[in-house]
Amino acid sequence: NAGVTQTPKFRILKIGQSMTLQCAQDMNHNYMYWYRQDPGMGLKLIYYSVGAGITDKGEVPNGYNVSRSTTEDFPLRLELAAPSQTSVYFCASSSRPALDSPLHFGNGTRLTVT
Amino acid sequence: AQSVAQPEDQVNVAEGNPLTVKCTYSVSGNPYLFWYVQYPNRGLQFLLKYITGDNLVKGSYGFEAEFNKSQTSFHLKKPSALVSDSALYFCAVRDEDYGQNFVFGPGTRLSVLP
């Protein structure tokens, strides 16, 4: 049972480059999320999706885009990378919308923008 | 607005001793509280959750958490710490007003010394 799979694990980008962080889950979860983790700051929600074709902004969406064409995949796109986007990015999913439903996380992508 | 505080950046405890990792929260509605653990180079793993009901919640790996409504706290506890419990611990909250967003605390690093 793979759960939530993120690729790549590490990436170094130059300022102004673009890239897509991949996220796939095999649990048939409708709800998927992208978070970024910065030291001492906890996790901040970038975007989320409640099902295929539906996405919405979270707390820190600027500089990012997402799409959700299938239930399984939820890629995060960085356009014109900036040093402020240096972070660890986590994808997560949950099975239902109930507020007591916990998140299942991938192992993260560590991104450095120089 | 929702917020979560973890007042200690670091907690050190000797193996076999009880441990407490503190969390306080602020929400406008009923709180849904969670604890997650993060091991190095891994995503967050769900430990336990509080919805409504018993003030002492039992979770994975022998952890439990005590909910105190008057103090708006949800402290994580374990009667006897193991070296393998050393990790980064995050408290998180959701409520009805903010729907899909989990608000995470900044994290507390637990070190269990042999």
Give the pLDDT of chain B (114 residues) as one tens digit per residue. 788 999 999 999 999 999 999 999 998 888 889 999 999 888 899 999 997 788 999 999 999 999 999 999 999 999 999 999 999 999 999 876 666 678 899 999 999 999
Which are the contacts of A19, defined by CB distance < 8 A and separation ≥ 6?
A11, A13, A77, A78, A81, A111
- Better pLDDT: A97 or B61: B61
Res. A7: pLDDT tops 90: yes
Between the alpha carbon of residue B1 and those of residues B86, B96, B99, B103, the distances in Å are 31, 12, 12, 10
Considering only CA atoms, which of B94, B88, B85, B32 is closest in space to residue B57?
B32
Could you give the residue ranges of the DSSP H alpha helices within B1-114?
none
The per-type count for chain A, helices as H runs and strands as E runs, is 0, 11
The pLDDT score that the predictor gives to residue A1 is: 65
% of residues, chain A, pLDDT over 70: 99
From B9, B43, B100, residue closest to A105, measured CB to CB: B43
Cα B32 to its chain centre, rounded Å, is: 12
Contact A56 B34 (CB under 8 A): no
SS3 A85: helix
Mean pLDDT of A60-80: 96
Long-range contacts formed by B62-66: CB under 8 A, 24+ apart: B63/B35, B65/B33, B65/B35
Mean pLDDT of A29-38: 94
End-to-end CA distance of chain B: 41
Q: In this complex, is the C-beta atom of A33 within 8 Å of any C-beta atom belonging to chain B? A: yes
Residue A58 contacts residue A47 (beta carbons within 8 Å) = yes
Q: In this complex, is the C-beta atom of A60 within 8 Å of any C-beta atom belonging to chain B? A: no
Q: What is the DSSP letter of B85?
A: G
- Better pLDDT: A49 or B101: A49
CB pairs under 8 A between A and B: 60
Mean pLDDT of A16-35: 95
d(CA A32, CA A23): 9
d(CA A87, CA A57): 18
Which are the contacts of A24, defined by CB distance < 8 A and separation ≥ 6?
A4, A5, A72, A73, A74
Q: In this complex, is the C-beta atom of A50 within 8 Å of any C-beta atom belonging to chain B? A: yes
Closest-approach residue (CA) in chain B for A49: B100
Q: In this complex, is the C-beta atom of A54 within 8 Å of any C-beta atom belonging to chain B? A: no
Residue A107 contacts residue A93 (beta carbons within 8 Å) = no
Q: In this complex, is the C-beta atom of A104 within 8 Å of any C-beta atom belonging to chain B? A: yes
